Chain A
């Protein structure tokens, strides 16, 4: 099977990218679904296309697979242009949202489908089917029909079916949507480990930020047909390039301020640096704020509501101007959470982790 290096989580700059997407655009009639999308994916890398429904992430995936032809730009796999290359000649494998297993074929015949279409000798095909089923731990399920499998098993058949044809690029279209919430978490980790072990270059499409943070080496956040930021999950979370990305990933607090001389004054008296001037918006994550029940700092608020979410306590703090701040602190058994209705003073833990965007 495909034995690739389980590469580092960052792009290997020296190697040529396996998949190059260059300024791809796609129209439906006059409606622009994709606009100048550019993205390189390195060998063995998992890149997630993340965005709300209708942002064009599935459209981009379908253009790479060849179900739709892009109207502009280039798609290259291993330096080969994919323009006008029919679906069945592209070295890509697609895991569909519905898995699209053939209901009238057994697991073994589903997995062997691509080999039969290519006319591989029966003995060799059988060996490769067995190998693929072994890879996804489904040995012994050869004679079952898809309807007799659980959602997780169906997903693994869908992956095995693609593994046998050794594609260069794996495309996954929201593959966890059909699973129940409890199973998703474990399947995400399992799938990431499997793909990494096989060293498959992958594009993963989802609208779920948690899935994206779990699965990806890099995340491409999409908005209205454009790629807004491409970066590693930590980078996206800690240093979102735009207010849109900050808002889409994780919880964030925004307020307006004025920047002067490369500095923005925060309401608690500290300063954050910025290259911007004039009206700006400042973003701070809930875990970068600290509450003090007895504090007399310059930034005062009132706890409107609090709740315990696992190891965290989340506060909704009303501040001047009718705004509500979200604050998250680690739950400590020693001290009780601050009561609702209590007056608190608020402070930013690390001003360097405040993001500043144009106002």
Chain B
């Protein structure tokens, strides 16, 4: 009786609807990954579901195939480069946007955001054409820079939102306690921003590792990143090899998530 008064029928219906949508979305998001992982263990040499046997053969083949390993290493390099560039460029930009006392902090913040709003394909084509105009040919470096431009906004936004919630009195206290502006940055601001920077680093690394739309136009002819290599693979073969590569990526992604949640907590990433 009392429960009914606390939760009227309309509320219960609403709650039920929300739960239904949530479960449906979760299934929609997670099911393909699970199916891919299942397929990657199939014994048959073509993609089909449900599987007929169990083997590690495709995983062995991934690491036997030189071009796939090389592509993974290339993507790893791009991911690390993008992350490094995003930290070096993004953290100072976020500081300037939030703490800066000059005109145009809003303009700067929007300027950083714009490339992220442009479709990756458009950005990729634009970088390719602009590069050829000035004689820069596609390479692993051009690809890294292009993806950095594309994803920098995520690092800036993550750090910005954390910075805006920091008590400004903390930095004033540091100054009052004899810290120079640089000392205050090093001993107070940066340590307190570290969770946000780490979260941003995870996002930017994943983008650098995984991005296809920008990479397809900007990668070096000899340095094919993993997504491009995979695309070629699915175009010409239909073996569970592709599924195995995806399986490796999923394991890496889960490992990264666990590492982040153990070190700084997922709540800090979600801000």
Interface residues of chain A, those whose CB is within 8 Å of chain B, are 65, 67, 86-88, 90, 92-94, 96-98, 100-104, 113-114, 116-118, 161-162, 165
Contacts and interface: CB of A to CB of B under 8 A. Distances in A.
A87 B172 contact: yes
B167 interface: yes
Contact of A117 (B169, B178, B192): B178
B173 A94 contact: yes
A11 to B, nearest CB: 26
A115 B32 CA distance: 58
Contacts of B188: 102
Given A103-B192, A117-B183, A88 B169 contact: no
A94 B178 contact: no
Given A87-B172, A102-B188, A103-B192, A114 B167 contact: no
A103 to B, nearest CB: 7
A114 B174 CA distance: 8
B176 A93 contact: yes
B178 A98 contact: no
B191 to A, nearest CB: 5
Interface in B160-197: 167, 169-170, 172-180, 183, 187-188, 191-192
B172 A94 contact: yes
A114 B177 contact: yes
Contact of A118 (B170, B176, B178, B192): B178
A88 B178 contact: yes
Contacts of A92: 176
Nearest to B194: A104
Contact of A113 (B167, B174, B191, B192): B174
Contacts of A90: 176
Contacts of B172: 65, 67, 87, 94, 96, 100
A306 B133 CA distance: 89
B167 A94 contact: no
A114 B169 contact: no
B177 A161 contact: yes
Contacts of A104: 191-192
B177 A117 contact: yes
B178 A97 contact: no
A87 B176 contact: yes
A73 to B, nearest CB: 21
A292 B170 CA distance: 58
A102 B169 CA distance: 10
A117 B174 CA distance: 9
Nearest to A114: B177
A116 B180 CA distance: 12
10 contacts: A86-B175, A103-B192, A113-B174, A114-B177, A117-B174, A117-B177, A117-B180, A117-B183, A118-B178, A162-B177
Contacts of B178: 88, 114, 117-118, 165
Interface in B75-89: none
Nearest to A94: B176
Nearest to B183: A117
Contacts of B177: 88, 93, 113-114, 117, 161-162, 165
Q: Across the A-B interface, give the 10 residue pairs with the lowest CB-CB distance, nearest first.
A: A100-B169, A100-B173, A114-B177, A87-B175, A117-B178, A96-B169, A117-B179, A94-B176, A114-B178, A88-B178
A97 B191 CA distance: 22
Nearest to A104: B191
Residue from B174, B175, B188 having most chain A Cβ neighbours under 10 A: B175
Contact of B167 (A86, A98, A117): A98
A117 B176 CA distance: 11
B61 to A, nearest CB: 47
Contact of B176 (A88, A98, A102, A116): A88
Given A113-B179, A114-B177, 12 more contacts: A65-B176, A67-B172, A67-B175, A87-B172, A88-B177, A96-B173, A97-B169, A100-B167, A102-B188, A117-B174, A117-B177, A117-B180
A165 B177 CA distance: 8
Contacts of B173: 94, 96, 100-102
B170 A100 contact: yes
Given A102-B188, A117-B183, A88 B175 contact: yes
B271 to A, nearest CB: 16
Contacts of A94: 172-173, 176
A61 to B, nearest CB: 11
Nearest to A103: B192
Contacts of A88: 175-180
A161 B172 CA distance: 14
Contacts of B179: 88, 113, 117
A97 B172 CA distance: 12
A313 to B, nearest CB: 44
A92 B172 CA distance: 12
Given A88-B180, A117-B183, A98 B169 contact: yes
Nearest to A164: B177
Nearest to A167: B176
Contacts of B175: 67, 86-88
A90, A92, A117 pick with most chain B CB within 10 angstroms: A117
Nearest to B168: A100
Contacts of A97: 169
Contacts of B167: 98, 100
Interface string B179-219: 11001000110011000000000000000000000000000
A241 to B, nearest CB: 33
Q: Among B170, B178, B187, B192, find the residue whose CB has the most chain A CB atoms closer than 10 A.
A: B178
A161 to B, nearest CB: 7
Interface centre among B169, B173, B177, B178 (most CB of A within 10 A): B177
Contacts of A161: 177
